[in-house]
Chain A
Amino acid sequence: DVKVTQSSRYLVKRTGEKVFLECVQDMDHENMFWYRQDPGLGLRLIYFSYDVKMKEKGDIPEGYSVSREKKERFSLILESASTNQTSMYLCASSFRTTSGNTIYFGEGSWLTVV
């Protein structure tokens, strides 16, 4: 079975703090993704990566950065957390193929910024 692990499930951070969200996958997937999900707004792509040290902006990259130093690990960084970044964050991974990339999600990280 595909395993995407988000180490931090529930976090409470203060405004202005630097926040790291870590994600590890064990399926040797090339692609990794970070989404946030908010009521009424659905899933929105923040950043994705299709290879080590590669990153691409998604739909809402502002206020976020990412790091992919190893193939299995993809980190989301909030340089200075703000209250509007309170959300559920979902990491996902997939193979990189032309026949449709089934993506598999981690369990999610609930972040509250106070």
Chain B
Amino acid sequence: QKEVEQNSGPLSVPEGAIASLNCTYSDRGSQSFFWYRQYSGKSPELIMFIYSNGDKEDGRFTAQLNKASQYVSLLIRDSQPSDSATYLCAVTSGYSTLTFGKGTMLLVSP
């Protein structure tokens, strides 16, 4: 069974700090990796995806992928209170459906 593991948190960081969210996955055949943000009571929204080893940056967000270690992370620079949400990691391979982690709750304090 494919598994995606995330620390449930909450991860608490002060405003302006870097938040680091981590995710591990069990399926070595995984090819595509996604980060979603979900505010309380809302549906998940895509932040970014990454396919290749290394870093991918988009504004204040950086996704990092290490396929050898089966590890993907999301860094949020200059964290803002509006970043407080649950962050879901999702993984897929080829045509298969996405497998989601249970999410990490991030709390950014002013």
Contacts and interface: CB of A to CB of B under 8 A. Distances in A.
Nearest to A43: B100
B42 A107 contact: yes
Contacts, number: 48
B31 A42 contact: no
B108 interface: no
A108 to B, nearest CB: 5
Interface string A98-114: 11111111111000000
A40 B9 CA distance: 12
A99 B32 contact: yes
Nearest to A105: B43
Contact of B49 (A42, A50, A102): A102
A100 B102 contact: no
The range of chain B's interface size is 20 to 34
B51 A42 contact: no
Given A41-B102, A42-B103, A99-B51, A104 B46 contact: yes
Interface string A35-49: 000001111010010
B43 A98 contact: no
B43 A107 contact: yes
B62 interface: no
A20 B51 CA distance: 37
Interface stretch (B18-26, B53-61, B65-73, B88-96): B88-96
Interface of A: 33, 40-43, 45, 48, 50, 58, 90, 96-108
**What 3 A-B pairs come out closest when comparing CB atoms?**
A100-B32, A42-B102, A105-B43
